[in-house]
């Protein structure tokens, strides 16, 4: 079982951000929110049917929470929930907001992985994205985390940015590699509707790089990171051996998860399934507004906004879609365990056709995308949808 906790506060809103995050450093608002999270945790305790193996505090900017508040939150969560089986405990942090006091507050509860939102190393691009930090803040924050004994550090990057050149991207990769991170997530920019960046692209103030350049940046990330000992284990994720993100692998392998806080999602497997027509899992999402979230909790209600049951056909498709993102692919035995039959029962014709086209391969009992299949991932997945 995985536990996710959402902290929706940021210093300011980045130009490309569509996450549930709000610009606020107001202590009173944060206190109210932390109390609501603790309340939700106590209401949801009974949903934890299995031991918690990973904890992920994301946002937003969790490193913006004052040290005493983050300490109180973790102390109360630990008294509500059993953390004794937690193997990976990640906290997201933004460079420039990490302090020794904040690190001292999270470490006693087992936090052992920090994930920094870095995105680029050029001031010009950081300004364009509306980020609050400079690359010097990244260097300082990473060194501070190491001094406090954090041995697992992730850095998030974005490529395919307006005005970003191939040289900018190479320099960003080399700059972050000079900090010896254990893990790098490198995402191609997806402009989200409603963001200032999307608006600027719509009205022509900014434009995206040529698709060939974006593809070259992706290739450059794969080869540069591989040469530095960070191997690709998922479309956008690279790690040194043993430092793959367990929490994300859990999502991609459909491990049940419980989310606490604004807009957090949860998925719990349906027990006692008798046949292939019973729902596979239930999912829900918490309200995405403070008012909605607080109103439900104040009435002692479980804060759920969107609820849905996932039936076997959709669950099988999700297994294909999520597992093919990983370079280890879709293991036939794992599929059998989840769905009661091997994948060929439902997808045999498509799997072998895509294999014939050089887009999939069957190796070590796992169906995997070939390199060409990874480049054409969306078209490959459409085949399964059809």
160 makes contact with ligand SF4 (CB under 6 A) = no
Taken in order 24, 29, 35, 37, the sign of the CA dihedral is: negative
Site for ligand SF4 in 267-326 (CB under 6 A): none
x/- contact string, 23-62, with ligand SF4 (CB under 6 A)? Answer: ------------------------------------xxx-
Using alpha carbons, select from 199, 202, 177, 198 the residue that is nearest to residue 189.
198
Q: Of 13, 215, 273, 355, which lies in the binding site for ligand SF4, with binding defined by CB under 6 A?
A: 13
What tokens appear for 340 in the block? 């009661």
The residue among 4 and 347 lying less far from ligand SF4, judged by its C-beta, is 4
Q: Which helix (H) or strand (E) holds 158?
A: strand 153-159
**Residues 6 or more apart from 253 whose CB is under 8 A from it?**
322, 323, 334
CB nearer ligand SF4, residue 19 or residue 169: 19
Which residues share a beta bridge with 360? 369
373 part of the interface to ligand SF4, by CB under 6 A: no
CA–CA gap between residue 191 and residue 100 (Å, rounded): 35
Residue 10 binds ligand SF4, judged by CB under 6 A: yes
Name, in order, each residue with C-beta under 8 angstroms of 103's C-beta and a sequence gap of 6 or more: 144, 145, 148, 150
Nearest CB to ligand SF4, comparing residues 19 and 159: 19
Angstrom distance (rounded) from CA 246 to CA 249: 5
Question: Please, are residues 376 and 218 in contact by the beta-carbon 8 Å criterion?
Answer: no
Q: How far is the CB of 14 from ligand SF4 (least distance, A)?
A: 3
- The single residue listed with the structure tokens 């996450």 is 19
- Decide whether 106 or 374 has the Cβ nearer to ligand SF4: 106
CB 175 within 8 A of CB 160: no
- Residue 76 · residue 68 · CB < 8 Å: no
User: At closest approach, how far in Å is the CB of 64 from ligand SF4?
Assistant: 9
Q: How many residues bind ligand SF4 (CB under 6 A)?
A: 11
Shorter beta-carbon distance to ligand SF4: residue 13 or 273: 13
Q: Which of 3, 5, 7, 17 binds ligand SF4 (CB under 6 A)?
A: 17
Distance CA 373, CA 358 (A): 7
Residue among 10 and 77 whose Cβ is closer to ligand SF4: 10
Shortest reach from residue 34's CB to ligand SF4, in Å: 18
We find the least distance from the C-beta atom of residue 130 to ligand SF4, in angstroms, to be 7
Residues 76-135 that bind ligand SF4 (CB under 6 A): 94, 117
Work out how close the CB of 61 gets to ligand SF4 at its nearest, in angstroms, rounded to a whole number. Answer: 5
Three-point CA angle 156, 147, 129, nearest 5°: 25
Interacting residue with ligand SF4 among 2, 3, 7, 21 (CB under 6 A): 21
Of 80, 346, 295, the closest CA to residue 367 belongs to 346
CB-nearer residue toward ligand SF4: 22 or 384: 22
Which residues lie near ligand SF4 (CB under 6 A)? Answer: 10, 13-14, 17, 19, 21, 59-61, 94, 117
């Amino acid at each position: 079982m995985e536990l996710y906790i959402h902290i929706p506060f940021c210093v300011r809103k980045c130009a490309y951000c569509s996450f549930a995050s709000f610009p606020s450093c107001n202590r009173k608002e944060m206190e109210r929110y932390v109390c609501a999270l603790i309340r939700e945790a106590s209401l949801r305790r009974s949903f934890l049917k299995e031991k918690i193996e990973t904890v992920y505090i994301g946002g937003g900017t969790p490193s913006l929470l004052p040290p005493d508040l983050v300490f109180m939150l973790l102390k109360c969560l630990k008294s509500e929930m059993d953390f004794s089986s937690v193997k990976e405990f990640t906290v997201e942090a933004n460079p420039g907001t990490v302090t020794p006091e904040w690190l001292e507050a999270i470490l006693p509860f087992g936090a052992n992985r920090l994930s920094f939102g870095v995105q680029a190393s050029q001031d010009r691009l950081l300004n364009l994205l509306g980020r609050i930090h400079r690359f010097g803040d990244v260097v300082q924050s990473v060194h501070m985390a190491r001094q406090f004994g954090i041995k697992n550090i992730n850095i998030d990057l974005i490529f395919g940015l307006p005005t970003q050149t191939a040289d900018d991207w190479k320099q960003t990769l080399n700059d972050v590699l000079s900090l010896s991170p254990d893990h790098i997530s490198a995402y191609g920019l997806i402009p989200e509707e409603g963001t200032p960046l999307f608006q600027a692209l719509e009205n022509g103030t900014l434009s995206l790089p040529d698709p060939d350049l974006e593809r070259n940046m992706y290739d450059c990330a794969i080869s540069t990171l591989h040469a530095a000992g960070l191997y690709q284990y998922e479309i956008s994720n690279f790690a040194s051996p043993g430092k793959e993100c367990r929490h994300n692998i859990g999502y991609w392998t459909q491990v049940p998860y419980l989310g606490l806080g604004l807009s957090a999602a949860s998925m719990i497997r349906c027990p006692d399934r008798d046949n292939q027509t019973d729902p596979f899992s239930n999912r829900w999402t918490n309200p995405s507004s403070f008012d909605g979230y607080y109103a439900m909790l104040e009435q002692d209600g479980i804060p759920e906004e969107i609820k849905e049951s996932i039936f076997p056909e959709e669950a099988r498709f999700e297994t294909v879609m999520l597992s093919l993102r990983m370079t280890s692919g879709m293991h036939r035995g794992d599929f059998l365990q989840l769905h009661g039959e091997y994948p060929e029962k439902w997808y045999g014709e498509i799997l072998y056709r895509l294999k014939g086209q050089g887009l999939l391969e069957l190796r070590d009992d796992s169906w995997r995308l070939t390199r060409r299949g990874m480049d054409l991932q969306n078209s490959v997945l459409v085949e399964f949808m059809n």
